[in-house]
Amino acid sequence: MNVFGTLSPDALAELRRLLVGQAGLEVQRRAPARSSVPHPQSTDLELALKSHLVAAGFQHHVRLEHPRTGDGFEYDFWRPSDGIAIEVMGYRADDEVYKDILKFHVHEGTRVGVVLVPRYKWISSRRTDTNYAATLKALAFADHYMGVDALVAVAYDWEPGSSETAWVLSFPES
């Protein structure tokens, strides 16, 4: 877990409990794989985390509005009581992360923006560090202009599960 900005020790412990505490969770891939690496999609991970995070006070797929334009956007998970927003990234995290972290900036109620990102990106059946490295770079840049207290990157990975479509969630950096 990498933190940019200021996150209290209690908030850090809470995030570890909420997210990293889910290590070992088995996640089913619902749609057929479009590549040779059949890991679950980000929506599969969202659905697997949903009951746990909702029980902790988060709302799933909260629709918000841009303060100037009124354009709508969503957080994957949002907890209004302490302003924590969570975005679950998928295999294209290196291309999409900037769009997601900008959402943290435009919503004035957001105090902490958390990005769950695949540790690795698979290109031609080869594993690269592209996703996590791009996310850390984006958060380091964003830390200097964001209107939030902290930005947090949490890397996740997959291990084979109990069936061909099941995968076990792990957190290699935490």
Domains in the chain, CATH or no CATH each? 2-24+36-170 (3.40.91)
- C-alpha to C-alpha distance for 54 and 147, rounded to whole angstroms: 25
Helices and strands in the chain: count of H runs, count of E runs: 4, 10
- C-alpha to C-alpha distance for 147 and 111, rounded to whole angstroms: 8
CA nearest to 147, candidates 109, 116, 97, 121:
109
SS3 173: coil
Mind listing the pLDDT tens digit for each residue in 7-46?
Answer: 999 999 999 999 888 999 999 888 877 666 678 888 999 9
Tell me the CA distances in angstroms from 4 to 1, 60, 91, one per residue in order.
10, 24, 23
At residue 127, what are phi and psi to the nearest 5 degrees?
A: -85, 130
Mind listing the pLDDT tens digit for each residue in 130-171?
Answer: 678 878 888 888 877 778 899 999 999 988 888 888 899 999
| Residues paired with residue 77 on neighbouring β-strands, in sequence order | 60, 86
